[in-house]
């Protein structure tokens, strides 16, 4: 049925079955989106990783299709983002309809000058395939397919993990266990940890179909379309001429009936007209929940991605939040394992990513309530916003067909140094993600390319004498007129002035950027002592 060829990845008999075993610094459970991304981020920092998955293939079905800029920037560090961009569909525009009339159009990338677009649509099986390929070529990562975690015994300094394979069971001894095993997390169940949240009862039908004719690149969302008059429909393009059509079915639909090919075809026929033709890729009826664990770090066991929190699909926040989680976790875990920071640094992973999950759940719940109003007045206001949107521009901002994923703010983190200068009028403050900008004389050199795996100081200096002393191990990027190189500092060229603009920069403006590309501190005047103290705070070594 699917045009995607599901490859089987090789199972190899683990050495532990033959009596060889050693303590592993990090064992990751789950090779979905979070697991392989974390494995690559740890291996890039020199750590050996064991990656376990109960299956031997990629995600069944296209599932998460909208890969956001921040995720692409992360994957670019491991050399997989370009492949995703080339294979996927770049889109930045969308259209919202009421009935058969467009009521407004949006553009997610109003400003140029980023290495990556706001979104690339690519099926989850391709994302995972490219991540697996990269993991399999990385000597520090041991991918163990058909290795299912069936037991977890947490200790004070390590965790024992019981794993089932086609050849029998064995025990792995891990300093840290990271559960990236999805919404039905086996590790969470085995440890009997609660997963509180809200259950939604509206049902949706995903029909992914392969089209042969020319397809729209933009996202289209209909409220009350003529071909599905009582509910909403989302249309989105993916790689290989695949379209995602997502029909809201309501609470009372019978999922088994709805999934039948003849019933799906009847809906699609009404939508696309008598001459269109398609083949089915993947069909699924889903409901969803919004849930979040109370603590993402439980002793030596850490939860990331859907295992830790889950949202509705509106806004493409599930997969992208999973990537942001492991981005946040990787550098902290690497520092703790190297003895550079004490284990409490990991508490900040929980604080920061719970704040992000709360924001994602809030946004996703608001979208859900707009798309599926729960009580009559809610529907009345929804319909009022829709009725006004075409002629009253303010009302377009109220129409909520999914607030698409942008990096969440992680405000109030203990790692951040609060601002003391009062005159900021823009740019990312502490707890916010860095923004990309061109930094070279040519067209394809970007700030994201210049951020390494450690901390970076970005300093807008007029004279070399203005530069603060660089703390050990921190990379220095200076934005200065050409021809003023300084030892230890790399000079960036802000040809179009976008860097200054996006960082609200004046001579002296200095940013401390974390390894996960979030801002830890910023100042109007560079000061070596303040920088060193902010760095101690950001690494929990102060």
Partner 1 sequence: MTDAISGALRRSLSLARPDDIYNAIVDAHRDLDDEQCRAFDARLILLLANHVGDEAVIREALVAARDPSRGGAE
Ligand X SMILES: Cc1cc2nc3c(=O)[nH]c(=O)nc-3n(C[C@H](O)[C@H](O)[C@H](O)COP(=O)(O)OP(=O)(O)OC[C@H]3O[C@@H](n4cnc5c(N)ncnc54)[C@H](O)[C@@H]3O)c2cc1C
**Applying CB under 8 A, which residues contact partner 1?**
376-377, 380-381, 383-385, 387-388, 392, 394-395, 398
Q: Which residue is nearest to ligand X (CB)?
A: 32
Smallest distance from ligand X to CB 104, Å: 22
Residue 183 vs 398, nearer CB to partner 1: 398
Residue 96 vs 179, nearer CB to ligand X: 179
SS (H, E, C) 289-321: EEEECCCCEECCEEECHHHCEECCCCCCCHHHH
Q: Which of 148, 219, 267, 537 binds ligand X (CB under 6 A)?
A: 148
Decide: is 434 part of the binding site for ligand X (CB under 6 A): no
Residue 124 vs 328, nearer CB to ligand X: 124
Q: Exposure of 127 by Cβ count < 10 A (0-12 exposed, 13-18 middle, 19+ buried)?
A: buried
* Partner interacting with residue 415 (select from ligand X, partner 1, none; CB below 5-8 Å by kind): none
State the first-to-last Cα distance of the chain, in angstroms, to the nearest integer. 58
Look at the chain and count its residues.
542
Smallest distance from ligand X to CB 325, Å: 8
Q: Which of 51, 81, 149, 235 binds ligand X (CB under 6 A)?
A: 149
Decide: is 52 part of the binding site for ligand X (CB under 6 A): yes
Residue 362 vs 384, nearer CB to partner 1: 384
| Beta-bridge partner residues of 145 | none
Task: Give the DSSP per-residue string, 451-505.
Answer: --SS-EEEEE-SSGGGPPPPPTT-EEEEE-SSS---TTEEEE--TTSHHHHHTT-
* Partner interacting with residue 362 (select from partner 1, ligand X, none; CB below 5-8 Å by kind): none
Cα Rg of the chain (Å, integer): 24
Q: Which of 74, 283, 320, 328 binds ligand X (CB under 6 A)?
A: 320
Residue 377 vs 422, nearer CB to partner 1: 377
How many CA atoms does the CB half-sphere of 515 hold within 13 Å? Answer: 22
Question: What Cα–Cα distance (Å) separates residue 438 from each residue in 86, 289, 443, 492?
Answer: 21, 40, 7, 9
Instruction: Give the separation between CA 355 and CA 349, rounded to whole angstroms.
Output: 10
* Partner interacting with residue 319 (select from partner 1, ligand X, none; CB below 5-8 Å by kind): ligand X
Strand, coil or helix: 281: strand
Decide: is 31 part of the binding site for ligand X (CB under 6 A): yes
Judge contact between 317 and 363, C-beta under 8 A. Answer: yes
Decide: is 85 part of the binding site for ligand X (CB under 6 A): no
Smallest distance from partner 1 to CB 351, Å: 24
Residue 69 vs 317, nearer CB to ligand X: 317
Decide: is 306 part of the binding site for ligand X (CB under 6 A): yes
Q: Which of 61, 224, 78 is nearest to 141 (CA)?
A: 78
The interface with ligand X within residues 261-290 (CB under 6 A) comprises 284, 286
* Partner interacting with residue 313 (select from ligand X, partner 1, none; CB below 5-8 Å by kind): ligand X
Decide: is 326 part of the binding site for ligand X (CB under 6 A): no
* Partner interacting with residue 54 (select from partner 1, ligand X, none; CB below 5-8 Å by kind): ligand X
CA 460: distance to chain centroid? 30
Residue 25 vs 373, nearer CB to partner 1: 373
* Partner interacting with residue 381 (select from ligand X, partner 1, none; CB below 5-8 Å by kind): partner 1
Stretch that binds ligand X, among 213-221, 302-310, 440-448, 500-508 (CB under 6 A): 302-310
Return all residues near 438 (Cβ < 8 A) that are at least 6 apart: 113, 445, 446, 447, 495, 496, 498, 499
Residue 383 vs 504, nearer CB to partner 1: 383
Phi-psi region of 207 (alpha: psi -120 to 50; beta: other; left: phi over 0): beta
Residue 338 vs 397, nearer CB to partner 1: 397
Decide: is 40 part of the binding site for ligand X (CB under 6 A): no
Q: Which of 88, 113, 225, 319 binds ligand X (CB under 6 A)?
A: 319
Decide: is 371 part of the binding site for ligand X (CB under 6 A): no
How many CA atoms does the CB half-sphere of 217 hold within 13 Å? Answer: 9
Residue 52 vs 458, nearer CB to ligand X: 52
Return all residues near 287 (Cβ < 8 A) that are at least 6 apart: 199, 200, 201, 202, 203, 204
Instruction: Give the separation between CA 361 and CA 29, rounded to whole angstroms.
Output: 24
Q: Contact positions toward ligand X, by CB under 6 A?
A: 29-35, 52-55, 63-66, 124, 148-149, 180-182, 186, 206, 284, 286, 305-307, 313, 316-320, 322
């Amino acid at each position: 049925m699917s045009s995607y060829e599901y490859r089987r990845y090789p199972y190899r008999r683990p050495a532990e079955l033959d009596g060889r075993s050693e303590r592993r610094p990090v064992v990751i459970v789950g090779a979905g989106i979070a697991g392989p991304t974390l494995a690559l981020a740890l291996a890039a920092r020199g750590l050996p990783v064991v990656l376990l998955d109960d299956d031997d293939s990629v995600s069944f079905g296209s599932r998460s299709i909208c890969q956001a800029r921040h995720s692409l920037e992360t994957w670019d560090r491991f050399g997989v983002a370009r492949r995703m961009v080339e294979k996927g569909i770049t889109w930045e525009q969308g259209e919202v309809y009421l009935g058969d009339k467009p009521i407004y159009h949006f553009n997610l990338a109003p400003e140029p000058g980023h290495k990556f677009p706001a979104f690339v649509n690519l099926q989850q099986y391709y994302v995972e395939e490219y991540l697996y390929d990269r993991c399999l070529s990385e000597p520090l990562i041991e991918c163990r397919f058909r290795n299912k975690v069936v037991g977890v015994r947490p200790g004070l300094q390590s965790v024992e993990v019981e794993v089932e394979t086609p050849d029998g069971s064995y025990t792995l001894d891990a300093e840290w266990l990271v559960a990236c095993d999805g919404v039905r997390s086996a590790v969470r169940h085995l440890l009997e940890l609660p997963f509180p949240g809200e259950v939604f009862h509206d049902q949706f039908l995903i029909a992914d179909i392969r089209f042969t004719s020319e397809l729209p690149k933009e996202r289209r969302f209909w409220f009350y379309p003529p071909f599905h008059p009582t509910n909403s429909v989302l249309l989105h393009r993916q790689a290989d001429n695949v379209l995602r059509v997502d029909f809201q079915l309501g609470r009372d639909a019978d999922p088994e009936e709805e999934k039948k090919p003849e019933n799906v075809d009847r809906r699609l026929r009404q939508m696309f007209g008598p001459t269109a033709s398609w083949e089915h890729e993947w069909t699924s009826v889903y409901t969803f929940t919004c849930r979040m664990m109370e603590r993402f770090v439980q002793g030596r066991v850490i939860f990331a991605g859907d295992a830790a929190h889950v949202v509705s699909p509106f806004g493409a926040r599930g997969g992208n939040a999973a990537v942001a989680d492991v981005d946040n976790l990787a550098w902290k875990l690497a520092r703790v394992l190297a003895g550079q920071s004490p284990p409490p640094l990991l508490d900040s992973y929980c604080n920061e990513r719970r704040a992000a999950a709360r924001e994602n759940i809030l946004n996703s719940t608001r979208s859900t309530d707009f798309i599926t109003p729960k009580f009559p007045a809610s529907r009345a206001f929804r319909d009022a916003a829709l009725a006004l949107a075409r002629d009253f521009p303010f009302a377009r901002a109220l129409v909520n067909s999914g607030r698409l994923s942008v990096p969440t703010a992680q405000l109030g983190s203990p790692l951040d140094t609060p601002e003391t200068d009062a005159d900021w009028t823009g740019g990312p403050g502490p707890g916010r993600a860095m923004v990309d900008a061109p930094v070279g004389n040519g067209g394809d050199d970007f700030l994201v390319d210049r951020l390494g795996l450690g901390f970076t100081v970005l300093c807008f200096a007029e004279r070399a004498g203005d530069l603060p002393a660089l703390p050990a191990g921190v990379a220095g990027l200076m934005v200065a007129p050409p021809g003023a190189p300084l030892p230890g500092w790399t000079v960036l060229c802000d040809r179009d002035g976008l860097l200054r603009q996006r960082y609200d920069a004046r001579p002296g403006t200095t940013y401390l950027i974390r390894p996960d590309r979030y801002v830890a501190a910023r100042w109007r005047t560079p000061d070596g002592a303040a920088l060193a103290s902010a760095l101690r705070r950001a690494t929990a070594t102060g």
